[in-house]
Chain A
Amino acid sequence: MRLYIEFIKNALLVNSTYRLNLFLRLFNRIIGLFISVSIWRALYGGTSETMSTMGSVSIKDMIMYSIISSAISVFISNNVIASMNDKIKSGQIALDLLKPINYKVWQFCNVVGRNISSVLLELVPVLIIGGLVFSFQIPTVINFIFFLIALLNGVIINFLITYILGILGFWYLEVWHFDRLLQDLVRLFSGAWIPLWFFPKVLVNISNYLPFKFIYFAPTTIYLSKVSYNEALIIILQQFIWIIGLLLIEKILWRKGIKKLVIQGG
């Protein structure tokens, strides 16, 4: 356990090394939030409510949706694919594999460490500015607890997806375009930009078979109390099923990939 705390501490240290990078990330978040709120305001065009597949959605809901969504994005952006890709291509992964620790857990610790540094330097400012400029909706305690569980699960699901794509680098040295593809899929199907409420039936059906909506859409709807407690529990259960499924895929791929692995250079 101590090891993982040390890893998280280390990731924190590394993340705070590049100050400019941190400021740019913060700037990026805030601009992103304002753009998305402005777009929704324009789309609503002065009306305060609009109909969707899930009943009426008010502009207030949408602004809150944007704030929560950009808060979640703080936890979702990770560099697992890029860093694994770099290490595989340069052969540096050899040294990571020579450590007596589980590689996946190690990578996850890095993500957690990065997330903790983001909470202080990105999330808090986004929430403060969001709260000051726009009105803030506070959920019930139970909803908030459900939200936190769903959020954590979403972070794990997102991590596992990126980690699996990272493992594909054992076969295809170049996997950054998977990263790109994944980002687009997440953007579309997770509800990061547009809630699934406004999706046509076809896209909703497709998204039901994909894990992406559990990353953004599920936690956000729970926060906004758009689902009942029972529905929230079902969502969390589905998340667990996805996590188990992804873990299995990861295990199989890792076992095959590690035999395939060619340490590049020297």
Chain B
Amino acid sequence: MALIEVENIIKTFKREKKQPGLSGAFKSLFHREYETKTAVDDISFKIEKGEILGYIGPNGAGKSTTIKMMVGILTPTDGKVTVNGIIPYENRIENSKRIGVVFGQRSQLWWDIPLCESFNLLRYIYKIPEKTYKENLKRFAEVLDINSFINVPVRQLSLGQKMRGDLCAALLHNPDILFLDEPTIGLDVVVKENIRQFIKEINQNFQTTVILTTHDISDIEKLCSRVMVIDQGKMMYDGNLNHLKNSFGTGEELVIETDSIINRVDLLHSMNISDITYNKNKIIIKYNTDSINATQIIEKVMQVCKVRDFELKETEIEEIIRRMYKRELKQEVAKEVF
């Protein structure tokens, strides 16, 4: 049996329909209309022990809702979740002993007391044996570089420090599963890199299963072998990252600004480039990073004219999802035609 099994879960929320304006607000005192919104729509998947799974999708896609059902703080409207053989939202306390959770936008640390006191409390909450606690704390504190601020009240910590503290807090009790909801949000590159490295190590050393939601595609690239894409509550893709990239492009977009107005750069058209647009003195080039890179393109352009500036845009998750839609639509259209 897989470690986590999710079968056809649906979660709908009832939401009050807000009438605009003052009269609307007054009306709503007496009569309220509700609309149902489906946040998660019939999703199923399995996760095996030791996997690092990237869970991506645009804002409001239903990622967090799914995670909340897996950790047991939200009950699905329909369907079933099993984690470690138990149903999390029915055995919340039992389930919470074996998982660690980090929400990037919230902290589980106690606001008014020093970090070390928070850890100490967690030790008793999770009934961590003294030896394990000391070993883990020593090790995590070293890797995450926590020692320099371990005696500072949490409210005085910076975002990155808090995040490192939270990660440490979530792992002290050696959880089987680690849920990370946007763990790198708002962090600078160095801290991001540290955290990624740390997650990888934990996964390798303890066989901890990691479920990670993020908006940062490089989190996924560095960590995850498997990716799930969700949009508007529906599962769009579940498989390995390379396949996702190959199908939907590791496309990049390069915008080159030149000194003079360019109509056409012949050299470029002989290269493996998917799309070129000329707009006065700007050239917008879309290409696949598997076949060509930005340096090669710029080199060619520089042979013809002077480059004043250029900008490189990586494909974002939103873009990948947009492409997924396009393809789906095309297939549907194709079906209709034939």
Contact = CB atoms under 8 A, between A and B. Distances in A.
Nearest to A4: B124
Interface in A128-185: none
B121 A10 contact: yes
A13 B72 CA distance: 30
A100 B112 contact: no
B113 A92 contact: no
A13 B118 CA distance: 11
A261 B103 contact: no
Nearest to B95: A100
Nearest to A97: B73
Given A3-B124, A13-B112, A101-B93, A265 B73 contact: no
Contact of B68 (A2, A7, A102, A263): A263
Contacts of B289: none
A261 B68 CA distance: 11
Given A261-B74, A262-B13, A97 B92 contact: yes
Nearest to B101: A98
Interface in B100-122: 101, 103, 105-108, 110, 112-113, 117, 120-121
B126 interface: yes
A91 interface: yes
A266 interface: yes
A13 B105 contact: no
Contacts of B182: 266
Contacts of B32: none
A261 B73 contact: yes
B124 A266 contact: no
Contacts, number: 71
B113 A14 contact: yes
Interface in B58-78: 64, 68, 71-75
Interface string A63-104: 000000000000000000000000000011011011111100
B103 A94 contact: yes
B112 A266 contact: no
B125 interface: yes
Interface of A: 2-3, 6-7, 10, 13-14, 17, 91-92, 94-95, 97-102, 258-259, 261-263, 265-266
Interface size class of B (residues with CB under 8 A): 20 to 34
Interface of B: 13, 64, 68, 71-75, 92-94, 96-97, 99, 101, 103, 105-108, 110, 112-113, 117, 120-121, 124-127, 153, 181-182
A14 B112 contact: yes
Contacts of A258: 75, 92
B170 to A, nearest CB: 9
Given A13-B112, A14-B113, A98-B71, A2 B106 contact: no
Contact of B124 (A6, A102, A259, A262): A6
Contacts of A263: 68, 73-74
Contacts of A3: 124-125, 127
Nearest to B98: A100
A95 B101 contact: yes
A100 B73 contact: no
A66 B13 CA distance: 51
List the 10 closest A-B pairs by CB distance, nearest first.
Answer: A3-B124, A95-B108, A100-B97, A100-B96, A6-B124, A14-B112, A17-B112, A266-B105, A100-B93, A97-B73
Contacts of A13: 112-113, 117
Given A3-B125, A10-B121, A101-B93, A95 B106 contact: yes
A99 B73 CA distance: 11
